[in-house]
Amino acid sequence: MRTQIVIVGGGPSGLLLGQLLHRKGIDTVVLERQSRAHVLGRIRAGVLEAGFVNLMREAGVAERMDREGFVHHGTILAHGEEQIRISFEDLIGRHVVVYGQTELTHDLYDARDAVGGKTVFNAEGVTIHDADSDAPYVTYSSDGTEHRIDCDYVAGCDGFHGISRQTIPAGIRKEYEQVYPFGWLGLLSETPPVSDEVLYSLSDRGFALCSMRNATLSRYYIQCALSDKVTDWSDDAFWAEFRRRLPRAVGDRLVTGPSIEKSIAPLRSFVCEPMRWGRLFLCGDAAHIVPPTGAKGLNTAASDIHYLYHALVQVFETGEIEGIDRYSEQALARIWKTQRFSWWMTKLLHRFPEQTEFDLRIQRAELAFLRDSRDAQTVLAQNYVGLPY
């Protein structure tokens, strides 16, 4: 088989890249190691920056998102009984959209089906060959048969545990990582959201987050120990602890119910440099991970897609290689800024095991400064809604 771009990974970033390229007449094949049902069963965040929303519209897959997504004009940071509202509209005249990643991925698969894009599920043993040459190719096996795809470029959108990053020789890539000493226990329930906007809450017992998928589907999180297991937490235990970490006025209106899904995610910050090796380009979690506190995971993948999409269109339409030569530099410049914001939000809103009394007072002072300073709120709003590409 021959194609112009092999996209390794059939999650939202790979699908979005494929859809954007299709609209420019550039052919792609998507290889996904899991089944379609598995990909669509993943429960992930759904706060979309303005840049991501615009990319979905450019890709022609925004109709349902625009119809069903929830526009959020601000967010709330709570500490004890105090609530600090950050008004994106008042501060910077912009907003975010809440739209579940599962729904977004459904839309992208439907669009790919409609245009006849080739997607291979359950692709085993995917291997990228000769990425540092002018003739890369990718091999995989399916139903016991070996396959080879010759291509011009490879986009590695296969996540943190995928093979794309590992294809770059260890002597060339440099990795930066910080692992946080706690995780997030998340619960999904068919209950009305307790807050109309995403609410972050810091209490003496730790962090809690109130978010939503729609008007009847809520997604809640609490900070937990890395040693915890999902089986350690009954629904009743989760709801009791979650309520303790909210301001009383919020907890009093909380509606509880049976969980649809519960999971624990560890938190880490991670960046791999460079994000390009020859004709292989890393995108999204294949190159970087952020703690979810700043809602940047899916959004940093989108900025990678923006840079790579424009670079590939440039090379195929004009033969100009400046975009692909600058891809890693451009992507990393923005990624490190989103890493800083996600790290700052995580430090601001969590209890750390070895915090001293001094550390706690600094954390309290930081929140007080944010409450009292419009300039500080503006910086938060700019980062939360999304830095420019």
User: Which positions are annotated as active-site residues?
Assistant: 72, 200, 292, 296, 384
Phi, psi (deg, nearest 5) at residue 48 = -105, 125
CB 36 within 8 A of CB 121: yes
The number of angstroms, rounded, from the C-alpha of 133 to the middle of its chain's C-alpha atoms is 31
Which amino acid appears at position 58 of this protein?
A: E
Write out the DSSP string of 35-55: -HHHHHT-----EE-HHHHHH
Rounded Cα–Cα distance for residues 2 and 175 (Å): 33
CB 77 within 8 A of CB 86: yes
Rounded Cα–Cα distance for residues 244 and 240 (Å): 6
Tokens at residue 16, please?
């979005």
Rounded Cα–Cα distance for residues 7 and 15 (Å): 8
Three-state SS sequence of 256-299 = CCCEEEEEEEEEEEEEEECCEECCEEECHHHCEECCHHHCCHHH
Residues 341, 388, 349: CA angle, nearest 5 degrees: 15
If we measure between CA atoms, which residue out of 103, 116, 104 comes closest to residue 22? 116
- How many angstroms separate the first and last alpha carbons of the chain? 34
If we measure between CA atoms, which residue out of 247, 370, 350 comes closest to residue 291? 350
Which amino acid appears at position 276 of this protein?
A: R
Residue 184 in 3-state DSSP?
Answer: strand
Would you say the C-alpha torsion 291, 90, 63, 156 has a positive or negative sign? negative
